[in-house]
Amino acid sequence: MTTEKINLLDFDRKALRTFFAEELGEKAFRADQLMKWIYHFGCDDFDQMNNLNKKLREKLKAVCEIRAPYVSEAQHSSDGTIKWAMRVGNQDVETVYIPDDDRATLCVSSQVGCALDCKFCSTAQQGFNRNLKVSEIIGQVWRAAKEIGVEKETGRRPITNVVMMGMGEPLLNVKNLLPALNLMLDDLGFGLSKRRVTVSTSGVVSGLEKMIGNIDVALAISLHAPTDDLRSQIMPINDRYDIDTFLACVRRYIASSNANRGRVTVEYILLDHVNDDMEHARQLAELLKDTPAKINLIPFNPYPGSPYKKPSNSRIDRFMKTLMKYEYTVTVRRTRGDDIDAACGQLVGEVIDRTKRTQTRLTMKEQIPVKSV
């Protein structure tokens, strides 16, 4: 019987130092040297780590490995966006690379499928299988960096920003999310600024509470409705954590955080004639009066079988201008990668659904869109 090797991508610096001391009988600085090889040089071959002595390299080869998800498929958008299907076990999650003039953002998944059931999200239609391991979260960043490589002319890092906005709800996997975030921020890891790493949540208050005092990164919240009645219709998580409970926890987090500069990013998907009326905009402005926020409007990105539609440009513009009257900073997200289904809400992988959600939808005779409240 073959013993499964220990994947060193599952350890942040603290855990790796403990492993080296307690399991390998090695000093902490050896763990630091190893981290540089893994994250600074993208090295997964112990034999190439020439500042580690041969005895240690042989010890590592015997019991350890450095195994990131691998790319099973890549799709390239006309706008430069790349969507990778990353193989994790016998399933796929999707990771999206979004280059821009002054940044290169990676959208990372946290679950195989999604445990939530937001009605407007393509990932939710696939159901849920499991949480990703630390190695499968940080491994997406590692693999993407290898795929892109450093720009030889400028020396610019292949990835400058990470957003936890891929498949899954990050705060339902907070146990594995936190070490992965540590590795993104650690100078021996990817060394990203805390303001350039963003966690997005649909409102898992228990997970957000665990972040307070344990990690400092930018926070984005998927709100998408200004009232509990409407939000519960399109986001069932609201039945567990209502808007007031959610926003109270958000205020506690941003009060503890330097990365957010005193305010949170509110994501609001615009669904035609569902949540995009002028009254909804006024309700949203009133709702957020005690929560310092900038608002990011996201026109709905259609996917096959969805009952929703993208609002007209005039409705989007009216909604935005209504919010701006209340002196909010408001942006409209520019859609990227929609020609390869890599835009917000369009991500799907290869998911072995454990929730029976997929089969339920397949047997439904009719999908009825939610009416505006």
Nearest CA-CA partner of 353 in 28, 120, 128, 55: 128
CA 201/CA 208 separation, integer angstroms: 8
Length of the chain (residues): 373
CA 285/CA 123 separation, integer angstroms: 29
Q: In angstroms, what CA-CA distances link 67 with 8, 38, 133, 259?
A: 8, 10, 12, 31
CB atoms within 10 A of CB 101: 5
Indicate if 94 belongs to the active site.
Answer: yes
Indicate if 344 belongs to the active site.
Answer: yes
SS (H, E, C) 328-345: CEEEECCCCCHHHCCCCC
Which residues 6+ apart lie within 8 Å of 80 measured at CB?
Answer: 98, 99
CA 240/CA 363 separation, integer angstroms: 27
Give the residue ranges of the annotated binding site for [4Fe-4S] cluster. Answer: 114, 118, 121
SS3 (DSSP) at 292: coil
Which of 94, 136, 267, 350 is catalytic? The answer is: 94
Q: What helix, strand, coil percent values describe the chain, rounded to 5? A: 40, 20, 45
CB atoms within 10 A of CB 335: 18
Give the residue ranges of the annotated binding site for S-adenosyl-L-methionine. Answer: 168-169, 200, 222-224, 301
Instruction: For residue 263, give the amino acid letter.
Output: R
Which of 249, 267, 344, 350 is catalytic? The answer is: 344
How do strand 128-131 and strand 111-113 relate by DSSP bridges? antiparallel
Instruction: For residue 114, give the amino acid letter.
Output: C
For the CA atoms of the chain, what is the radius of gyration? Answer: 21
Give the residue ranges of the annotated binding site. Answer: 114, 118, 121, 168-169, 200, 222-224, 301
The catalytic site residues sit at 94, 344
